[in-house]
A and B are shown apart, each in its own frame.
Chain A
Amino acid sequence: MKHYFRELSVLGALLAILLGLAIFAPAFYQPQPLLSLLTREAPTLVVACGMALVIVCRQIDISVGSIFSVCSVCAGLLAARGWPLLLVLPASVALGAVFGAFNGVLVAGLRLPSIVVTLATMVTLRQGLNLVRQGEFVNLPEGIQWFGLGQTAGQLVLVIAAVVILILLALAMRHFAAGRFAYAVGTDAEAARLAGIRPQLVTFLVFVSIGALTGLAAMMNLAQSPQVQPLTGNGLELKVIAAVVVGGVAISGGRGNLWGAFAGLLLLACISPALTHLRIEAYWEKAIQGTIILLAVVADGLRSRKGGN
């Protein structure tokens, strides 16, 4: 219990908000708006899982928003050309993985700082996309939105898919040796190397993973509307990093887990509907989210000062 104190405190905050909403704004719990909220957050959750892996390894990836946009537009164009969903989906995942591998080669292979490498990728991809597409929307053919299932069924599929991915990755992080490698590398790469682990390979693979997950998330977003708009991923990186950090994954690496990131994401995602239901001006949303992030970081800072020497 003590071990998961950080995650549990985020969960506690989330439950407090949900309880508050149940008392003061029961309308929040109407099934359809709630499902829509969860569906909107499903792609973010998938990227947040990848971000948690990257941050556990003491790296960061701020190019996910741009990768997300590029994957969305490319997948949309392929679908518009008549590719079936079963080919568009792996193509989007593969494209994301290629971008992730590019970041990974630069960070792990050349040992460049990941914040600079992914900043460069972020800007290049975003501007490249603007240049090629000139802000043009991609119209999707019939049968892509909600996978042709109808809205409610499609929403359920997306939410369930995101949660299944979360569970699988969380189990893998805990039960596969690979997860241990990630924590060891994030805590002390040189110590991991002296234990026979290959830190550079681990780092490369987490970047490939977050790229592939971002490609998948792009597809999950694509399926929610009849059009792809090219700015769709802007700001995603900050949203995801905020969720992960609020959820207790230490930015200094080696600490935290996916469940915390999940709770952090839900906590931040609840703020906006909660404000609406409580009839508070929406301007407060960013301020409240900022305060939560600050609180989380301060708590981590205090905790590591107490825990350290």
Chain B
Amino acid sequence: MSPAPLLELRQLVKNYGGVRALRGVDFDLRAGEVHALLGENGAGKSTLIKVVTGAHAPNGGTITLAGQTVSGLTPATARALGIACIYQQPALFPDLTVAENLALRLNAPSPAARMRWSDCRARATKLLARIGAEISPDAEVRSLSMPEQQLVEIACALGSGARIVVMDEPTASLTQKEQHLLFAVVRDLRQNGVGVIYISHRLEEIFALADRVTVLRDGQSVGTHPVAGIDEAGLIRLMVGREVAQIYPAAESAPGTVVLSLNQLGCRSSGVSNVSFDVRAGEVFGLGGLVGAGRTELARILFGLTPADSGTITLGGQTLTLRTPQAAVAHGIAYVPEDRRRHGVVLDLPIAHNMTMAIHRRLFPTTWLRFGAERALTLDYIRDLAVKCSGPEARGGSLSGGNQQKVALARWLATKPKLLILDEPTQGVDVGAKSEIHKIVRRLAKEGLAVILISSDLPEVIGMSDRIGVMGGGTLRAILPGGSDPHVVMAAALGTAA
């Protein structure tokens, strides 16, 4: 019988309002092991991490640390119990030096205590040397690169005597060389008996680094396997699983003429390169891929928010340079952004103002507003899209997520676009509203609109799209027909051959 694992989760449940983010997860972590956590977007990885680090309290299940069941975990107690987390975006104080950061994080000194800076500096030097990082303890964190900052985070974790280190996609922003340095540090941690929970979308990393892998799907753990006993195809099968039977409205029209044509499009500052595809009138072109694949970045290029620096955009036969959103709107491009509550709908403003916000733009700022016409237009869209609200004067913030999304959609339909880009239109929307939005998208396509649908929901992107462009690493990896086998789509997104 081996000793009790460092961390053991049994039937962990976490609900956010009505959404069941975790519905019974089993997981265990042994000393001196790298345990990878794998799953689609929204499978529950981030939630699991938040529960383990004490940021969120679970609604059910048990957490056992080294044989002791703990409850009421808070970030402070989690840290005291030896759990450290290294996030993608290091949470350091940019204006302080490395040594000062380490001192603040490690001592949590009483405000009145005198800081012994020479001791702090000596300890920082020792910790940095231990992980082989060539970083001066006197460097301001602001001046460090992202991977260097991650190394400082790891030094923090080591210095706090962490027994469990969680790494959330640590290599997302690292170069090849920096990755190797990081891998060496992880192996060193393992050698020293630390348990590492390693989250990554990159299968090759998991095979190179991890001892075991647990796959999450829809908030449940669907299997834990030794890495030596499973191959890529097996992992993809576990991630995708059996299809949930959901009916998507069928395409009712054959796509018409080419509306949008991208040729070798790229933008260095947002990491998008070499994207080429066509979208036709009446077609829903899905963009699938994992978080960080470059889909939103591509949409922002098409909307003139981060202008392209290579390749061409052709819309309706005309080659365009899109440097501002105004230019994009003027050419008939509409973009319903991903972060609905923040950018899609202005929550403080009435629905009517929200819906007409993008069409004032075509008018001169001194245009006299006709409230009657505005009201009529708003009522039309409220009826047409079945927005549930008390009327055109209701504030955006008073609506449910699905209805907010419809208001955001109406704003852009009012501009009478040729190309509609929808970025995660059903994220955080309940099932009924989701299916309504699907029907609206289908109907718009039938009316001749070209639609680009960005979605991280694999069944949705497969079910809704006429064709699916799969992105990864900022480029287009494959174009697959709608209704493709999810395993094939997932394999393309992960950049492996299924």
Contacts and interface: CB of A to CB of B under 8 A. Distances in A.
A177 B365 contact: yes
B16 interface: no
Contacts of B356: 180
Interface stretch (A146-154, A192-200, A263-271, A280-288): A192-200
A100 interface: no
Interface in B318-367: 324-326, 328-329, 335, 337, 342-346, 348-349, 353, 356-358, 360-361, 363-367
B369 A177 contact: yes
A191 interface: yes
Nearest to B303: A194
Nearest to B374: A180
Contact of A183 (B328, B349, B364, B393): B349
A37 to B, nearest CB: 35
Contact of B349 (A176, A184, A196): A184
B329 A181 contact: no
Interface residues of B, number: 32
Contacts of B346: 184, 187-188, 191-192
A187 B365 contact: no
Given A190-B343, A195-B361, A177 B366 contact: yes
Interface in B446-475: none
A279 to B, nearest CB: 45
B121 interface: no
Contacts of A180: 353, 356-357, 360, 369
Nearest to A172: B366
Contacts of A177: 360, 363-367, 369
Nearest to B336: A194
Contact of A195 (B348, B357, B367): B357
Interface in A1-36: 3
B366 A195 contact: no
Contacts of B344: 191, 194
A298 B329 CA distance: 41
Contacts of A178: 365-366
B325 A193 contact: yes
A175 interface: yes
A254 interface: yes
A176 B342 contact: no
B66 to A, nearest CB: 39
A194 B343 contact: yes
A174 B345 CA distance: 20
Contacts of B305: 193-194
Contacts of B342: 188, 190-191
In this complex, the member of B324, B349, B367 whose beta carbon has the largest number of chain A beta carbons within 10 angstroms is: B349
Given A184-B353, A190-B343, 16 more contacts: A3-B393, A174-B369, A176-B369, A177-B365, A177-B366, A177-B369, A181-B360, A184-B349, A188-B342, A190-B342, A192-B346, A193-B325, A194-B305, A195-B411, A196-B326, A196-B357
20 contacts: A3-B393, A176-B366, A177-B367, A178-B365, A180-B356, A180-B360, A180-B369, A184-B346, A188-B343, A188-B348, A191-B342, A191-B343, A191-B344, A193-B325, A194-B335, A195-B325, A195-B361, A197-B357, A197-B360, A254-B349
Interface of B: 303, 305, 324-326, 328-329, 335, 337, 342-346, 348-349, 353, 356-358, 360-361, 363-369, 393, 397, 411
